[in-house]
């Protein structure tokens, strides 16, 4: 027996954890080297004595109950390792962290010599593990807090910002509640369809291509665009489309954020429009004229022209049929001209019964031909109440050193000449 116990002591001393043997009354029968070193209590001093003398603060009622349970069930019992230290206090020497100043222990009570009511108690230092657990708990709490904030933000965004998310192939994956509400589309109606389906078909090609180009270069695009709502209403949107790029520099998804600028667009349009004919007003025409003059590439063969058209005998229309009919005639002429002009031409109402058109990429001859086309268009139109209406045209082209005044003056000269030569005709004036 003695030999066996000595042998056990050798084994206990070699263990890298605390091992002690006590009986039901807490008398210590073995105290290994690990305990000697970590508690500062020599085995000679404690063996044969009661643990209570060395550690009076322990909860012996619970401890002894556990010893009895171990002996009765002849199975190991465990101490709670996750909360406060319930066993002997061992200081911890870790310097780099100060979370735990006392060793966190995992304590197992195992049957040792049941006949003598002795149990073996193994003590494992699980401080590092415990420290990690505490740190993790803190982090989890932080994450939970951040998540709830994020969730709130997300709700605000969802309710108030119009956002569309797409995959890398521009197929819609998600829309916000605000987008859904504004456009009248349900999420499931849009998910899976292409983002470009949302754009109005007649959107200016060049801008669309520019957007495509930027996005293909994995860059952000921003600009104005027209979009159809579900019930076909056209709305103006200020849009920012940005790619989301992963660490391999590959596009994962796109996010398009929209802002409704329909009202702004309407005001903008009002300020440049003639209220009666809905053509550009004189102010806008002046602006475009200046831009046209600024362009540097005009040559004699490829320059721009300006024409002034004046409705013949318009005063008598007003006098005979009244101003309302007169206005109707002006509106009809505006419509005819708008239908006849080339896409690049800029048409405006100059004032009264006078219209002006800027004709880019023409020479003198071609400008006169365009004017002739307009003249014929008006002449062929039947104005139901008033009967046929004609207009006279003065036309000129830009030449180096010209100003707006000079060009308008020349066109006016042409117009005067056309009136004088019998009306319903085009007169060109060379620069």
The alpha carbon of residue 19 and the mean position of all alpha carbons in its chain are separated, in whole angstroms, by 62
Nearer to another protein, 123 or 239 (CB): 123
Q: Which range, of 31-39, 64-72, 204-212, 311-319, touches another protein by CB under 8 A? A: 64-72
| Binders in 93-152 for another protein, by CB under 8 A | 106, 108
> Cβ of residue 129: shortest distance to another protein, in angstroms?
11
**Which segments of 100-247 are extended strands (E)?**
105-113, 118-125, 162-167, 172-175, 221-228, 234-245
Nearer to another protein, 68 or 406 (CB): 68
The residue within the footprint of another protein, chosen from 7, 37, 53, 62 (CB under 8 A), is 62
Q: How many other C-beta atoms lie within 10 A of the C-beta of residue 358? A: 22
Measured CA to CA, the distance from residue 393 to residue 415 in angstroms comes to 5
**How many CA atoms within 13 Å lie on the side-chain side of 25?**
6
- The answer to whether residue 89 forms part of the interface with another protein (CB under 8 A) is no
- The answer to whether residue 265 forms part of the interface with another protein (CB under 8 A) is no
Measured CA to CA, the distance from residue 169 to residue 243 in angstroms comes to 11
The residue within the footprint of another protein, chosen from 8, 52, 54, 86 (CB under 8 A), is 86
- The answer to whether residue 64 forms part of the interface with another protein (CB under 8 A) is no
Nearer to another protein, 110 or 228 (CB): 110
- The answer to whether residue 66 forms part of the interface with another protein (CB under 8 A) is yes
Nearer to another protein, 106 or 424 (CB): 106
Nearer to another protein, 73 or 270 (CB): 73
Region of 184 on the Ramachandran plot (φ > 0 left; ψ -120 to 50 alpha; else beta): left
User: Cβ neighbours of residue 72 under 8 Å, at least 6 residues apart?
Assistant: none
**Which segments of 33-103 are extended strands (E)?**
77-78
Q: Which range, of 29-37, 43-51, 73-81, 369-377, touches another protein by CB under 8 A? A: 73-81
- The answer to whether residue 84 forms part of the interface with another protein (CB under 8 A) is yes
Helix, coil or strand: residue 307: strand
- The answer to whether residue 239 forms part of the interface with another protein (CB under 8 A) is no
Determine contact, residues 320/266, Cβ cutoff 8 Å.
no
Nearer to another protein, 68 or 423 (CB): 68
- The answer to whether residue 324 forms part of the interface with another protein (CB under 8 A) is no
Determine contact, residues 393/427, Cβ cutoff 8 Å.
yes
- The answer to whether residue 81 forms part of the interface with another protein (CB under 8 A) is yes
Name beta bridge partners: 391.
311
The residue within the footprint of another protein, chosen from 30, 77, 332, 396 (CB under 8 A), is 77
User: With contacts defined by CB under 8 A, how many residues of the chain interact with another protein?
Assistant: 21
Nearer to another protein, 82 or 320 (CB): 82
Closest CA to 330 of 320, 315, 345, 340: 315
CA angle 273, 274, 280 (to 5 degrees): 50
Q: Which range, of 69-77, 222-230, 318-326, 353-361, touches another protein by CB under 8 A? A: 69-77
Closest CA to 392 of 418, 417, 413: 418
Residue with tokens 């222990």: 105
Nearer to another protein, 44 or 57 (CB): 57
- The answer to whether residue 76 forms part of the interface with another protein (CB under 8 A) is yes
- The answer to whether residue 322 forms part of the interface with another protein (CB under 8 A) is no
The residue within the footprint of another protein, chosen from 11, 42, 82, 212 (CB under 8 A), is 82
Closest CA to 130 of 81, 93, 94, 96: 81
Closest CA to 257 of 230, 286, 289, 227: 227
Pull the structure tokens for residue 104. Answer: 């966190």
- The answer to whether residue 80 forms part of the interface with another protein (CB under 8 A) is yes
- The answer to whether residue 6 forms part of the interface with another protein (CB under 8 A) is no
> Cβ of residue 74: shortest distance to another protein, in angstroms?
9
Enumerate binding residues for another protein (CB under 8 A). 59, 61-62, 65-66, 69, 72-73, 75-84, 86, 106, 108
């Amino acid at each position: 027996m003695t030999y066996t116990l000595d042998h056990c002591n050798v084994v206990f001393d070699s263990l890298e954890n605390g091992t002690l043997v006590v009986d039901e009354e807490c008398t210590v029968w073995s105290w290994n080297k690990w305990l000697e070193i970590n508690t500062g209590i020599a085995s000679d001093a404690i063996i044969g004595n009661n643990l209570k003398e060395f550690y009076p603060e322990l909860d012996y009622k619970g401890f002894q109950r556990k010893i009895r349970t171990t002996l009765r069930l002849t199975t190991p019992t465990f101490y709670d390792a996750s909360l406060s230290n319930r066993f002997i206090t061992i200081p911890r020497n870790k310097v780099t962290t100060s979370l735990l100043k006392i060793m966190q222990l995992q304590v197992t009570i195992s049957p040792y010599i049941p006949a003598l009511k002795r149990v073996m108690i193994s003590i494992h230092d699980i401080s590092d593990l415990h420290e990690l657990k505490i740190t993790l708990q803190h982090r989890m709490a932080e994450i939970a807090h951040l998540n709830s904030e994020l969730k709130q933000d997300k709700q605000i965004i969802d309710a108030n910002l119009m956002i569309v998310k797409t995959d890398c192939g521009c197929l819609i994956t998600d829309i916000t509640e605000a987008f859904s509400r504004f456009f009248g589309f349900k999420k499931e109606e849009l998910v899976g369809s292409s983002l470009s389906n949302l754009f109005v078909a007649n959107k200016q090609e060049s801008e669309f291509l520019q957007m495509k180009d930027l996005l293909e270069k994995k860059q952000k695009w921003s600009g104005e665009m027209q979009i159809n709502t579900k019930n076909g209403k056209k709305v103006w949107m200020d849009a920012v489309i940005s790619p989301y790029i992963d660490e391999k520099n590959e596009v994962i998804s796109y996010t398009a954020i929209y802002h409704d600028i329909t009202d702004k667009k309407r005001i903008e349009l009002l300020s440049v429009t003639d209220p009666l004919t809905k053509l550009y007003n004189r102010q806008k025409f002046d602006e475009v004229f200046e831009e046209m003059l600024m362009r540097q590439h005009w040559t004699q063969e490829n320059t721009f022209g300006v024409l002034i058209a004046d409705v013949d005998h318009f005063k008598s229309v007003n006098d005979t049929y009244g101003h309302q009919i007169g206005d109707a005639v002006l509106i009809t002429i505006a419509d005819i001209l708008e239908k006849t002009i080339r896409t690049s031409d800029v048409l405006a109402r100059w004032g009264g019964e006078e219209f002006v058109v800027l004709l880019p990429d023409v020479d003198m001859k071609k400008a006169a031909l365009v004017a002739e086309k307009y003249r014929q268009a008006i002449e062929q139109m039947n104005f139901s109440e008033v009967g046929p209406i004609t207009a006279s045209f003065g036309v000129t082209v830009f030449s180096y050193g010209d100003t707006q005044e000079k060009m308008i003056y020349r066109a006016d000269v042409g117009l005067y000449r056309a009136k004088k030569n019998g009306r319903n005709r085009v007169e060109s004036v060379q620069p």
